[in-house]
């Protein structure tokens, strides 16, 4: 298909598609004349992922390019490609300067992972951006004096594990390895607001159940 049809079928303006092509987020089409190129279903599929990352997930263009590069890296096995792609996603703010809290949080997180038996997570801790994100978040809780012991964190980790099982079951519905990789990245990003919204709705629901119209004068 030509650019105009790619735009029509994807619902993305041609100017935006050209921008994605220039930024290397979309592989070039097959040249047919000096000014025209031919695109196929793989381009349509790729556009969908780019939209999920950039337009919905708010992932910066440079990070999106890293994610896509990892997905296409034939030198890596399936699990490593997936890991590398998810690692290229943004992971929240960098650690602040407070090294004492950061180190202490690192020990708490290591104790948590040991307790859970998440041994490969412990093994790859030094390279994992999600691990750094967790340590930074725990350090922030500790610095402000909010609860964040291994016992406090364990129920959140158990919920995280259930979510991961649900995520991977969802991903396994896709047949080819390439589709699974793409879905893994897209669903990781797209289900984050679903999860955070459901937690807040459930908080309101549970608060209503526990406290109802409790007056402040009681």
Outline where the chain has alpha helix (H).
3-10, 14-22, 41-50, 61-71, 78-87, 99-116, 119-123, 129-143, 150-171, 177-211
Q: How far apart are CA 30 and CA 41, in angstroms?
A: 13
Residue holding tokens 């994610």? 67
100 makes contact with a second copy (CB under 8 A):
no
Q: Give residues 128-147 in contact with a second copy (rule: CB under 8 A).
A: 128, 130-131, 133-134, 136-138, 140-141, 144-147
Considering the complex, state which of residue 65 and residue 153 has its C-beta at the smaller distance from a second copy.
153
Cα torsion through 104, 110, 112, 115, rounded to 10: -140
206 makes contact with a second copy (CB under 8 A):
yes
Q: Give residues 160-189 in contact with a second copy (rule: CB under 8 A).
A: 160-168, 170, 173, 177, 183-184, 186-188
**Distant-in-sequence, close-in-space partners of 92: CB < 8 Å, separation ≥ 6:** 133, 136, 137
12 makes contact with a second copy (CB under 8 A):
no
Least distance (Å) between residue 3 CB and a second copy = 20
34 makes contact with a second copy (CB under 8 A):
no
User: Binding a second copy by CB under 8 A: which of 42, 111, 114, 201?
Assistant: 201
Task: Tell me the β-bridge partners of 31.
Answer: 37
95 makes contact with a second copy (CB under 8 A):
no
Q: How far apart are CA 1 and CA 36, in angstroms?
A: 10
Least distance (Å) between residue 26 CB and a second copy = 16
Q: How many residues bind a second copy (CB under 8 A)?
A: 86
Q: Give residues 44-73 in contact with a second copy (rule: CB under 8 A).
A: 48, 51-52, 56, 58
Contact 17, 51 (CB under 8 A): no
97 makes contact with a second copy (CB under 8 A):
no
User: Binding a second copy by CB under 8 A: which of 67, 85, 86, 88?
Assistant: 86
**Distant-in-sequence, close-in-space partners of 62: CB < 8 Å, separation ≥ 6:** none
């Amino acid at each position: 298909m030509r650019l105009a049809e790619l735009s029509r079928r994807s619902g993305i303006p041609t100017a935006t598609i050209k921008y994605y092509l220039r930024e290397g987020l979309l592989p070039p089409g097959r040249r047919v004349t000096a000014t025209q190129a031919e695109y196929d279903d793989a381009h349509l599929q790729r556009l969908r992922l780019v939209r999920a990352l950039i337009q919905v997930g708010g992932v910066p263009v440079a990070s999106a390019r890293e994610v896509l590069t990892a997905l296409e890296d034939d030198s890596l096995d399936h699990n490593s490609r997936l890991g590398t792609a998810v690692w290229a996603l943004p992971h929240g703010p960098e650690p602040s300067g407070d090294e004492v809290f950061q180190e202490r949080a690192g020990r708490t997180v290591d104790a948590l992972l040991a307790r859970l038996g998440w041994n490969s997570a412990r093994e790859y801790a030094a390279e994992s951006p999600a691990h750094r994100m967790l340590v930074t978040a725990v350090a922030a809780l500790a610095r402000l004096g909010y609860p964040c012991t291994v016992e406090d964190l364990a129920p959140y980790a158990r919920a995280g594990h259930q979510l991961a099982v649900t995520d991977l079951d969802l991903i396994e519905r896709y047949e080819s390895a390439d589709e699974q990789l793409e879905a893994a990245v897209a669903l990781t990003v797209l289900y984050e607001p679903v999860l955070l919204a459901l937690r807040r709705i459930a908080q309101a629901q549970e608060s209503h159940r526990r406290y109802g119209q409790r007056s402040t004068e009681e």
